[in-house]
A = this chain, B = another copy of it.
Amino acid sequence: MPVNYRTPSPSQLFPVTGVRLGVAEAGIRKPDRRDLTLLSLAEGSRVAGVFTTNRFCAAPVQVCRRHLELGSDIRALVINTGVANAGTGEQGWQAAVHTCAATAHLLGIEDRQVLPFSTGVILEPLPVDRLVAGLPLCVADLQENHWHAAAHAIMTTDTVAKAASRRLNVSGRTVTITGISKGAGMIRPNMATMLGFIATDAGIATPLLQQLLWTAADASFNSITVDGDTSTNDSFLLIATGEAGVEFADAAAPGYAALCEAVVAVAVELAQAIIRDGEGASKFISIAVEEGRDRAECKRVGYAIAHSPLVKTAFFASDPNLGRILAAIGYAELDALDVGPVSVWLSSGQTEILVAERGGRAASYHEEDGAAIMQQAEIGIRVALGRGTASATVYTCDLTYDYVKINADYRS
């Protein structure tokens, strides 16, 4: 059960002109499950992507990188679940290349205009014949209003489909932004998440699109963690079809700031949805780190807290054993950190209490207040480092019996 998250209904996901989606059952790993998704993009669409920094990155990630280097005039995305096609060596590369060729043949485009994505078990061969056999079914299913079905078809251990959508008025035109994501475990994206796809019908010049992708990734998929495991397949794609009749050539263009804000909001919503549906999660925890020297060190502190199994189990138990937060701040390896000025607050809703200051427990802190907040499903931790003006927020969930159960049972 995700923490305060419900998949939007099909009617809440606005179609993006120029993007059609089709899904199919290809029987890649399990029967009776839609596991193959095709996104077909209108001519003239521009695409930007960021991918995992994992050196054992999957074959499809390597193919995506190469195709994007050859040009951003991408026309199709193919996504399979069940098998990650990672740790599969030369054979895996051939499978990804074959997937692109088969898709290009069906759609009458070039191989390099297809981006492949896989998610699932690592080290197992991709059954590429079954995948290719499923492609015509995806083509037959292509519709602009199939975002809801696609959000479901890309799931693995997710318990809910993740999607978000916005409409805004830019220069008198309606612009739409819709995105989907998947992921629940092996989540500590570094450059991107497991899989995230956001499309807009605004036109955005390629360098601008790439910049917007980075801004959105930094605030969303690169600010979340479930278990600290950076996946081999993380990919986050931003698509701009230009079909809305609004074109942005530079960042100063009227309306561009509002568009950016909406894209970031969609990305944050999708990233938070991954945490709300984190494997076994019973709590959603926001960790805001302030007064750091730079954003990187604020993130480092946020992740140290977010990755601590001791902090995570204390949240699961609703136990205000908050010294564990201080310990995590202390081992975050900040250069010459003086713990004297560090303060820590705990919050839920409108209530925020000071827990620690001057290297120790705050005189005003009462354990029963901490215990009351720890009972909530949505909890905020705020850390002030007292050594600068930078800040960053990291999102995570608690560590529960169910996390262990899910990951001990994953393949069975």
Say if the beta carbon of A348 comes within 8 Å of chain B: no
B residues less than 8 Å from A339 (CB atoms): 55-56
Q: When the two chains form their complex, are residues B316 and A404 in contact, meaning their CB atoms are under 8 A apart?
A: yes
> Among A185, A326, A403, which residue has the most Cβ atoms of chain B within 10 A?
A326
Q: What sequence of 0s and 1s flags, for each residue 375-412 of chain A, a beta carbon within 8 Å of any chain B beta carbon?
A: 00000000000000000000000011101110111111
In the complex, A127 has a CB within 8 A of chain B: no
* A356 partner residues in chain B, CB cutoff 8 A: 87, 123
- Is A232 located at the chain interface by the 8 A CB criterion? yes
CB-CB contacts of A268-289 with B at 8 A, as 1s and 0s?
A: 0000000000000000000000
Binary B-proximity of A67-92 (CB < 8 A = 1, otherwise 0):
00000000000000000101111111
Chain A contact patch, size range:
35 or more
Q: Which residues of B contact A410 (CB under 8 A)?
A: 319, 321
Q: Residues of B contacting A46 with CB < 8 Å?
A: none
Q: CB distance A323 to B185 under 8 Å? A: no
Structural contact, B309 and A227, CB atoms closer than 8 A: yes
Q: List A residues 302-327 near B (Cβ within 8 Å).
A: 307-310, 313-314, 316-317, 319, 321-324, 326-327
Q: Which of A31-39, A243-251, A358-366 contacts B (4 or more CB under 8 A)?
A: A358-366
- Does A337 touch B at the CB level, under 8 Å? yes
**A86 surroundings in chain B (CB, below 8 A):** 323, 326-327
Q: Copies per complex?
A: 2
Instruction: Tell me whether B309 and A122 are in contact (CB under 8 A).
Output: no
A334/B55 in contact, CB under 8 A = yes
Cross-chain contact A228 with B307 (CB below 8 angstroms):
yes
Give bound CA distance, A127 to B86, whole Å.
54
> Would you call B308 and A229 a contact (CB within 8 A)?
yes
B residues within 8 A CB of A316? 404, 408
A294 within 8 A of partner (CB): no
Say if the beta carbon of A329 comes within 8 Å of chain B.
Answer: yes
How many angstroms between the C-alpha atoms of A225 and B180 in the bound complex?
37
Inter-chain contact B229/A54, CB cutoff 8 Å:
no
Contact present for A331 and B53 (CB under 8 Å): yes
Q: Give complex CA distance A361, B86 in Å.
A: 10
Q: Let me know if A330 and B228 touch, CB within 8 A.
A: no
> Are A313 and B404 interface neighbours, CB within 8 A?
yes
Considering only residues 213-264 of chain A, those with a C-beta below 8 Å from chain B are 227-232
Minimum CB–CB distance for A275 against chain B, Å = 15
Per a CB cutoff under 8 Å, which of B56, B90, B307, B326 touches A122? B326
| The one of B319, B329, B407, B412 that contacts A56, using a Cβ cutoff of 8 Å | B329
CB < 8 Å neighbour of A401 from B91, B309, B331, B401 = B401
Say whether A328 contacts B229, CB under 8 Å.
Answer: yes
User: Across the interface, which residues of B come within 8 angstroms of A411, CB to CB?
Assistant: 319, 321
A339–B92 CA distance with the chains assembled, in angstroms = 14
28 A-B pairs whose Cβ atoms sit less than 8 Å apart in the complex? A54-B330, A54-B331, A55-B334, A55-B337, A55-B339, A56-B327, A56-B331, A56-B339, A87-B359, A87-B360, A89-B359, A89-B361, A91-B360, A122-B321, A122-B326, A185-B310, A186-B327, A227-B310, A228-B307, A228-B309, A229-B324, A229-B331, A230-B330, A317-B408, A317-B412, A319-B408, A319-B412, A321-B410
Kindly list the 8 A-B residue pairs having the minimum CB-CB distance in the complex, ordered from nearest. A122-B323, A89-B360, A56-B330, A123-B323, A317-B408, A313-B407, A230-B331, A54-B330
Known: A56-B359, A87-B323. 9 other contacts (CB 8 A): A87-B359, A88-B359, A122-B324, A123-B321, A125-B361, A229-B309, A309-B309, A313-B407, A401-B405
